[in-house]
Structure 1
Amino acid sequence: MSYNALYSDLSGYYDLMCADIDYQSQSSSAHRLNQIFGNGGKQHLDLACGTGPHIAHLLQDGFTCRGLDINQPMLDIAKQRCPDAEFAQGNMCAFETEHPFDLITCFLYSIHYSGDLDNLKSCIKSAYQALTHGGVFYFNVVAKSQIDNALFAKHSVQQDQDLFHFSSAWHYIGHGEKQTLNVRIDKTTDQQTLTWEDEHPMVALNFDELKTLLAPYFDVHVFEHNYDSITPWDHSSGNAIFVCVKREQNDNER
């Protein structure tokens, strides 16, 4: 067995790593909550869009979509998947747009890729400035105090002659604003296994801390992490969907 660090470019593995994700349900959840809380507009921006699977579904729902990601190879795949959407390479923590959006999404806990609280604040402000009045910022998040370091998400995928085993897990040391997402890939071909492992630095915070960061910009609604129903957060579970509705211009933007 051979061990290596994961390549910084995960585009070749990304869709396999996410093969067990129900993109349809996640996209439908964003669409449904946007219908309830949003302003009725159809201009959509997906932050950390990856290879564009969520955009593919929201295009079918009648949205005009744009994707932003820091990884150009991911965007190349996304453009092939969604030729009717526009894509741009950029940092979700510091972006500007020429035209405002009615819905901004950030799926798959990617809001944590902000890395630290200062960058997260910048991401929130960038999203606020990019939204129309009454627009929605939709994302999911994990609470640092609820992370179980022993819990792993695992799945396997067969591709041609290769068998892939994927696992990922949150890790939080118990204090501070840093956590990691630990990823492992095992690729077995003809009984030979190669293994890649990597740690992705993530920002760590609890929901009350997050609501405080969002409060100057948004009316915040928090829901249970269930894409098939709309259930208010029970104040105990460690995963949640945040629906943030842009308010009138405030002192942060004047």
Structure 2
Amino acid sequence: MVADRVDRCEDGIESHGTLIHGKGSVLARFSQKIQFVLDESAVSLSIVIEPTEELQSLVSSSRDALSRFFTCRFAWNENDFCDLFRNVQTQFVETERQRVFSPLLLSLVSDGGGVARQGEKQLSPVKSSGLQIFTGCHPWHVRSSSHTLDTVLTTDCGTHAHAFQLAIGIDLPHAIDSGFAWAATESLQVPQSPLRLPSNVRLVSAATLSNDSSGDGLHLRLLESYGQESRMRLHFSRKIYCVRWNGGVYESQGANDA
């Protein structure tokens, strides 16, 4: 892969280049544009790949689709230890697979660089950080080494051009919701939630209830998405007289908290 030209434009950075075989022949041409989104808390990545006729003579006839493909490679420092999480429906699940199926997004979580983690003494705790890769409709990924991850863009190596849209965020809250939004609309902007929730808790549904005997109520369905035990406090504008949770009824002292 060789970048022939990199230009800074008004709304991002554009690069153009070629994919070159080890023997020097040009297999494909590409263009790439990076733009800031979400008030510069994430970037969108637009890629166009144009295969050449030379590529056709080199394409394997194997029935294994993952033996030939175009990918977008993400790489990080080989001294950094990252845990890889894939999404299973609306949950993040850690995985060590080489071939990973994750239809919405992937999350790379690091507790700091390799030097920081291997040190015998740490003067201060190292805060974990997560990089989210929003792949939209590209669910297959290949972990080609301990510090590289390839998202399979297409296994079609024909001569027509292909266009792809991906996005990258760092420590974005409610990343699963952003993953759904990116797959549907190619936007990471999600509807504003009526509740302020921890980043690992999703609001699945909310509905008002009306009952003459017990008064007005609110039915909430919440889902934890990172496999972490969570505690939170909800504040309401009205006094709370009872809470129903997991089939039990808990009396309140008429406070505004639950």
TM-score interval, normalised by the smaller of the two chains: under 0.3
Answer 1 or 2: higher relative contact order, Cα 8 Å, separation at least 6: 1
* Greater percentage in strand: 2
* Greater percentage in helix: 1
Q: TM-score, normalised by structure 1?
A: 0.21
Q: TM-score, normalised by structure 2?
A: 0.21
